[in-house]
Structure 1
Amino acid sequence: MCEALSTAVAGLSPGRSLKVLAPAAAFRIAIDDIGVPRLSPATAAPGPDDDVLLIDTTPEEADALRRLRAAHPDAPVLIANGADLDELLAQAVAAVPIRHAHGLLAARVDPATGQIRLTSRVLFEACSRQGDVATLTVHSEAEHDLVFAVITSDGATPVLLSAWSAPMRPGPHRVTARLRGPGDVEFLSPTGLVPDQRSVAELMDAIPAALGPVEPVHLICAIEVSGPAARVATRLDCAEKVIRTAQRRLPLPGTLRVGLLAYGGHRFDRHGVIVTDRQGRREDVIVTDWLASPQEALASLGWLGAADLGYPRAAQIEDMLATVVHRLDAARRPQRTTLLVIGDRPPHPPALNREVAPCPRGHDWQRLLSDLERRPHVTLAAVRDQPGSPGGAAWARLGATALKPLDTVDPHALGVQLGLIAPTLRRLPVPLVDEPA
């Protein structure tokens, strides 16, 4: 019977209503302006624009049913078999396929200008049915209450069906929703949502014109991983905090790309000859990621650990710089890049001097740094264990924009100084989406 009722409701055309008459009750089901069926008690007799459906509730009301059939001889009769009529009708209305798509109100940000445009993402297409489940990924640009507003429309103007909000951390969030019926969407995740009473107009008024410039940036973290385990762990922790800080303020996918390089120390024998392994290989700079998402880079960071100190007076900074220059040269087009070096020992010189052994590959760190310094889209920064240690001239150039001591560095302040953190003019109340509408 519920299916027959749903079929009758689904067949209603705009402007018509269905009068459901039983011996002891009368109901009206009408399709509103956005295609959602609305159930209410009937307060008047059926008119010329009404369809009529009779309900046979119980045998005890047979006489009343005969009178209804006499008044509406063409109306179909459904047998209720004693079912609760209010519940039966509510179930029938909920089982009707939706006429217009139900979507989530969202916003897009122009990566170059920071301009915000209101948009939506479809949760349920037209003809979706009760019980259908939808998932999508959205983003929050800051830590604040985020509104999950369900809208529909049969034209250009969106109509708010429901709105829910909850505190959200910056970054991506997985949204899972279930269709309970026309105009009725339940959020399974995120959890902790509470009703939000704002209208679409109020939400639109709360949306800023722009979030500030969010030009995509390539953050390259080069970390010295040789030395005492506790010191290497502190360097890795510094890199993690910088990446997470930038990720929180640049949450859109593709806005922040991360390169992760690990370098250590060359190993020489007592005659000054480079030591190789059994396969004849020298220690190489490890590139775990280059244009990775922050999540991918953070996962790779967790696999890095301390290596042997090797040669004590210098590290493979010159090899690392050669790797960075080579990979930047191979890029199809330049983009805003920040090279953040985290370590302590200075680079090897290209040729022998009285204090430090030369780079076994002959790399010239000064020439490589000059190459990077000439690139207008590259920013150089460094975090050093002991900024006053020998080799300060090299580290001053590595940290041309910012040179910070490892034990007291503030990741947020460093991110601001390097332009990794985009300013937020006003909080954005609706989720961000990155793909075109």
Structure 2
Amino acid sequence: MSESAVRLRDTLATAVRALQGARHLNVVELGAAGVTTFDVHRDASGTPCAATGLILPWRQLGTPLERRRIAQAAGGISDEAVVIVCSAPGEKLPELAASWLAEMRPGSVLAHVSGQSVAGLLREVLTDEPLLQPYGLLGLTPDPLGGMPRPAAVTVFPAGAAPGATAEVVAQASGEVVFAVLSMTEGQPRPVAIRVADLPPGPQVIRLVLGGPGSVEFSSSVPFVQDDRGWAELVVGAWPLIGTQGGRVHLVVGLETCGHQDLVARRIELVRQVILESAGGGTECLVSLVPYATHSYDWEVPERPVHPRCWLAAPDRALTALDRLEAEPVYPDGYRDAAQVEDMLAEVVTRLSEGSPGRTVLLTVGDRPPHPPGRHTLLACRNRYDWNRQVTSLERAGVVFGAITESDHPIWGVLGGSSRAHTDGNSVTQLCADLGLATTGLDRIPFPMIEVAP
């Protein structure tokens, strides 16, 4: 590897290590054929990822339109970090564009490299990065006081562990069990690798090999296979017990209050059942109630802004707020094809950014999809909120998604990603158990007893 390639690799490694939270790094390669961009960010587990963005052939760099096009490829006027790489030193257009972009983005880093794949270097950097947070293996561990075993994430790779590191654990179970490696990102467990094995009776030594961020391999005397079930389904029984907040849960209810009066009354009754079930479910529960309706596109009908009726309230106070909401007239039906889901999500994102004790569950109760942020077959959100961006922010914050709905619209598969119930259902008990609002027995936890091998 040439000296310039080594310097570029170090530059990229430093920039990637500096990525925190939802921040992005734009890597802009100015090559002989044109401009290639790479969007680098960390996923929910803290693993660095890169996606190839725009690939723009050279035209006439001197035109304002062309400069604007290249500037947009480099992240425009955003404050995201930028590394500019000229991979065709000596060629007129790449050199000119590199100089111009570096001048436009004074905080950027400018590097030159020749005869080296920028994509390949970036891939090496992402694969070779030491862990920024520890990885733990989820399993049952003995209670030191002699009580029932408890789910816990036993650390197998500490922060700073490099690719190639190994660890061994002793697992004990009989039958099909789940081996889930988690990262503890901002105090929340995030899945990194999930495998299933059919263990024979007796203790089994399991060897784990760290392939890099987001990559862990398992080996033992029994085969491990990938499981197609979702993470929420696998940990449905353990979820309320594996967090770090002592079992405290923050239940945020987004409640659609437009439509037929009987349907709205049914939604309110189901929310009441969820709050009562959560209050007696063995967890310390705080409740926030965020009703929403639909945007008004009729100047004669004033729009009802989205505003919480209570936030971080004890269950009895939340039930009082729900009773008051039930006594109010139902909001006019208005636009029938969408509701203020995106406004509700934006309000929740803003409120949660100020802090939330314990694990947060967002339960959305309704049937209409959100308004889109811009031009679409549906009327756009008047506030131009993007529901997809809001969901991504909540996912990064570790929010668990549940829904009660009578709709088959695909959005409810997202809003009910961990569990979904139908408005016509007679019980919310299973929904509460799935979302960790009520603790369940250890018979629902498909994890082995584990201890770190001596």
TM-score interval (norm. to shorter): 0.3 to 0.5
Q: What TM-score results when the alignment is normalised by the length of structure 1?
A: 0.44
Q: What TM-score results when the alignment is normalised by the length of structure 2?
A: 0.43
